[in-house]
């Protein structure tokens, strides 16, 4: 079975139409006609992840995020870069092929990425009154943040708000952008959020809300931490129709460490 044949099976088994105009969910490195020996699903096809997949005998990487450091995997202006050349050569020399699974990981019902995140947060049974809203018995931001940091295994975990603020209803965002507070929601948990000059500067908003005692809090998990879990769901799905080769979920892992916190 070739990598291209794996993609054809994914299209057949998605359960909804594959968007053929996607620029994301295509091959980004290596030769798609290569014989697949094993598949690694992951959050990001970092060079380190590709090296580990190779060592484990998994020569096809199915990655939620980019290979060449930008959403379009546009290699214009990168081809002379030493890191680009190293990564590209590594894939070709070692028979590694990288397919991105982004748009269709989200359009699958249920969304693999959201399902994985909610399970990791431990909130599967806490569905609240709206989409991606979760309710639980009242606690404080301090207690909630300590619990989630432990659960998610995040090192560079960041919190905004008063540790004593009440938390009882959270909305959950994945990846980039954390949305805004809908009525009743006192906590937003998400992946990655730009600061300051943006569509809505959530961190400054939460700081100001805390100043007025308005009980708003924000927990920033990191993009990887918020989306990696769901690629395990993608692996489980792939195993239902790829029987010939092993399919493993391999973590690319949180990219950061923080001073004083490992």
Partner 1 sequence: MQLNRRQFASTAGVALFAAGSSVPQNTTLTVTLAMDRIRQNIGVTWKESTIDGVKAGDGNASVSGVAVTAVATMDTLARAVREKTNLIVSLEPVYYSHNDGPAALNPQTAGGRGGGGGRGAGGIAPDDPVFLAKKDFIAKNGLAVIRLSDHWRARTPDPFALGLAQTMTWTKYRAGSDTRYDIPGITIAALADDLANKLNVRAGIRVVGDPQAQVSRIGVLPGVSALVASVKLLPECDVIVAGETREWESVEYAQDAVAAGQKKGLIMLGRVVSEEPGMNLCAGWLKTLLPEVSVRWFPSGDSYWRPA
Binding site for partner 1 (CB under 8 A): 44, 46-48, 51, 65-66, 69-71, 77-78, 81-83, 86-87, 142, 145-146, 149, 156-160, 163, 173, 176-180, 192-209, 211-212, 214, 216, 220, 222-224, 255-259, 261
Phi-psi region of 117 (alpha: psi -120 to 50; beta: other; left: phi over 0): alpha
Which residues neighbour 116 within 8 Å (Cβ) at sequence distance 6 or greater? Answer: 227, 228, 229, 230, 231, 232, 233
Beta carbon of residue 233, minimum distance to partner 1 (angstroms, whole number): 20
The partner residues of 61 in beta bridges, in order of sequence, read 40, 98
Closest CB to partner 1 among residues 36, 220? 220
Beta carbon of residue 86, minimum distance to partner 1 (angstroms, whole number): 4
Neighbours of 166 (CB within 10 A): 15
- Please return the burial class of 173, using the count of CB atoms within 10 Å of its CB with bins 0-12, 13-18 and 19+: buried
Closest CB to partner 1 among residues 11, 180? 180
Beta carbon of residue 10, minimum distance to partner 1 (angstroms, whole number): 21
Closest CB to partner 1 among residues 146, 245? 146
Closest CB to partner 1 among residues 77, 137? 77
Closest CB to partner 1 among residues 78, 236? 78
CA 214 to chain centre: 30
Neighbours of 62 (CB within 10 A): 27
Taking CA 8 as the corner, what is the angle to CA 63 and CA 241, rounded to the nearest 5 degrees? 80
Beta carbon of residue 78, minimum distance to partner 1 (angstroms, whole number): 7
Beta carbon of residue 140, minimum distance to partner 1 (angstroms, whole number): 11
Beta carbon of residue 248, minimum distance to partner 1 (angstroms, whole number): 19
Paired sense of beta strands 97-100 and 27-29, if any: antiparallel
Closest CB to partner 1 among residues 119, 155? 155
């Amino acid at each position: 079975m070739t990598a291209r044949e794996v993609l054809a099976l994914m299209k057949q088994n998605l359960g909804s139409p594959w968007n053929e105009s996607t620029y994301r969910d295509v091959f980004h490195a290596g030769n798609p006609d290569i014989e697949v020996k094993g598949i690694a699903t992951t959050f990001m096809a970092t060079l380190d992840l590709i090296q580990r997949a190779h060592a484990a005998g998994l020569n096809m990487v199915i990655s939620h995020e980019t290979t060449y450091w930008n959403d379009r995997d546009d290699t214009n202006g990168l081809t002379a870069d030493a890191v680009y050349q190293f990564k590209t050569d590594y894939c070709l020399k070692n028979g590694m092929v990288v397919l991105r699974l982004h748009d269709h990981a989200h359009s699958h019902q249920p969304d693999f990425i959201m399902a994985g995140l909610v399970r990791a947060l431990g909130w599967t049974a806490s569905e609240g009154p709206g989409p991606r809203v979760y309710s639980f018995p009242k606690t404080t931001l301090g207690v909630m943040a300590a619990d989630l940091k432990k659960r998610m295994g995040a090192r560079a975990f960041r919190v905004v708000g008063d540790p004593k603020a009440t938390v009882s209803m959270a909305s959950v965002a994945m990846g980039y952008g954390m949305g805004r507070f809908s009525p009743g929601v006192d906590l937003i948990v998400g992946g990655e959020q730009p600061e300051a000059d943006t569509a809505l500067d959530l961190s400054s908003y939460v700081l100001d809300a805390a100043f007025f005692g308005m009980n708003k809090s924000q927990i920033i998990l990191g993009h990887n931490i918020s989306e990696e879990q769901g690629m395990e769901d993608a692996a489980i799905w792939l195993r239902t129709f790829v029987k010939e080769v092993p399919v493993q979920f391999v973590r690319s892992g949180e990219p950061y460490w923080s001073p004083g916190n490992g």
